[in-house]
Amino acid sequence: MTASEGNRRRRHSRKRRKNRMGLFMIELVVFAALIATLFVVLKWDKVDKDTLDKSEIYYNEEIANMMSGPQQGSVEGETEASGTDWKMSGYKNVALFGVDAGETRTDSIIIASLNEATGDIRLCSVYRDTYLNLGNDTYNKANSAYARGGPEQAIKMLNMNLDMAIDDYITVNFQALEDVINDLGGIQIDVQDSEIGFLNDYQTSIVQGLGGGKPTGETVIPVTTAGLQTLNGLQATAYCRIRYTKGDDFRRTERQREVLQQIALKAKSANLSTLNSIIDDVLPEVKTSMTASEFADYAAKAASLNVVESSGFPFERLTGTMGKAGSCVVAEDMEKNVRELHTFFYGESDYQPTSTVKGISDKILNDRHAYGV
């Protein structure tokens, strides 16, 4: 055998080993995905499952035409009516509702939008006191939609007012939030001096069952110093409830998104035993329209998903008393705010608010003038 033949065989052998290693890694990934799928499916009986009536969640007509798929002669993501690219395809949009045990008004309303291609997740809170069309041509605070018609009504409201295509939801009560944080061993939060007193007061309120919840009998561990520190489940849940510091309810929704981001970050490095505890504790507190296979699919991809940005809607806003609705958050210019929301979720595009959104925007402006806001 010549030297050149020997070198060629060694290179060929190394290439085969490299190919085998690549194939082995692919098999490991597939195996992990199958385990994750099986893991979730076996636990799925713990979840309060809901079959969402998709015909009741109201995509505005132009959005509905687009989300039904590209029309003949058009490209994906275009509307048949306008022929313009709104870049809304390729995303999974889910409404996240946070409620107190036994209550029906949503204390937290968050839209989570997942870019299926990149794994990037963007979160946007809809302030609970935002003055919106509830999806039935009555106008009131956004959090009253869930109370009046459950998740279907709340999703219909979000899709109608915001030109969104939300087709699933997850409702979690705040006990589940405590449980998942405790199972993770707490999360890191930078507590400010102005937040300490309120944080401790809310801990006591939660434990005593004030405000509609059930008494928990937990032990309150007061937070005594400001700065970056590990908060347990009760402390972090109380942190989410603070609304009386500078920024009021707007800052409160920032805290809620911050806690969700910290949970996601820590869960990515959690071991199987911890994840099992989380699933056992949290799933009984969850109500969702998603299927076991959908949940399992996202569980298998969890390591590649990242919360990259968060914000709150409306971006430009006023506060004032809107008749019987009481003190509300009001979009300064609803059309402009909805355009900004689409840019936040989908990037720059040719999107323009639909006729439905334009009508809602006009109504809100007229009501503002009528009520002197």
The whole domain housing 63 covers: 55-178+292-373
| Domain assignment of residue 367, yes or no | yes
| Domain assignment of residue 206, yes or no | no
* CATH label of the domain that carries residue 335: 3.30.420.590
Between 65-69, 138-142, 361-365, the lowest mean confidence (pLDDT) is in 65-69
Tokens of 39: 């893991």
Percent of the chain with pLDDT over 90: 50
> In the chain, helix, strand, coil percent, each to 5?
50, 20, 30
- Bridge partner residues of 111 (DSSP): 95, 124
- List pLDDT tens digits, range 337-372: 999 999 999 999 999 999 999 999 999 999 999 999
| Domain assignment of residue 269, yes or no | no
Tokens of 117: 């291609």
| Domain assignment of residue 65, yes or no | yes
Between 32-41, 72-81, 102-111, the lowest mean confidence (pLDDT) is in 72-81
Nearest C-alpha neighbor of 67 from the set 176, 203, 159: 159
- List pLDDT tens digits, range 279-303: 788 878 888 898 877 877 777 777 7
H/E stretch holding 194 reads helix 193-208
Compute CA distances 343 → 167, 294, 312, whole Å: 20, 27, 13
Packing angle of the helix pair 334-346, 144-162 (nearest 10 deg): 80
- Residues 6+ away with beta carbon under 8 Å from 92: 113, 114, 116, 168
pLDDT at position 1 is: 58
- How many separate helices (H) and strands (E) can be counted in the chain? 11, 13
Residue 277: CB atoms within 10 Å: 16
pLDDT at position 286 is: 84
- List pLDDT tens digits, range 81-129: 444 589 998 999 999 998 865 566 688 899 999 999 999 999 999 999 9
| Domain assignment of residue 142, yes or no | yes
Phi, psi at residue 328, to the nearest 5°?
-130, 160
| Domain assignment of residue 129, yes or no | yes
- List pLDDT tens digits, range 177-227: 899 999 999 999 999 999 999 999 999 988 887 655 667 778 899 999 999
Does residue 314 have a cis peptide bond before it, meaning omega lies within 30 degrees of 0?
yes
By CB atoms closer than 10 A (0-12, 13-18, 19+), residue 243 is middle
Instruction: Decide: 262 and 208 in contact? Cβ < 8 Å.
Output: no
pLDDT at position 51 is: 81
Between 74-83, 126-135, 141-150, the lowest mean confidence (pLDDT) is in 74-83
pTM of the model: 0.79
Tokens of 208: 């005593």
Please give the tally of structural domains in the chain: 1
| Domain assignment of residue 156, yes or no | yes
> ∠ at Cα 167 (262, 153), nearest 5°?
100
The rounded radius of gyration (Å) of the Cα atoms in the chain is 24
pLDDT at position 12 is: 54
* Averaged pLDDT of the chain: 83
**Higher-scoring residue by pLDDT: 217, 269:** 269
| Domain assignment of residue 370, yes or no | yes
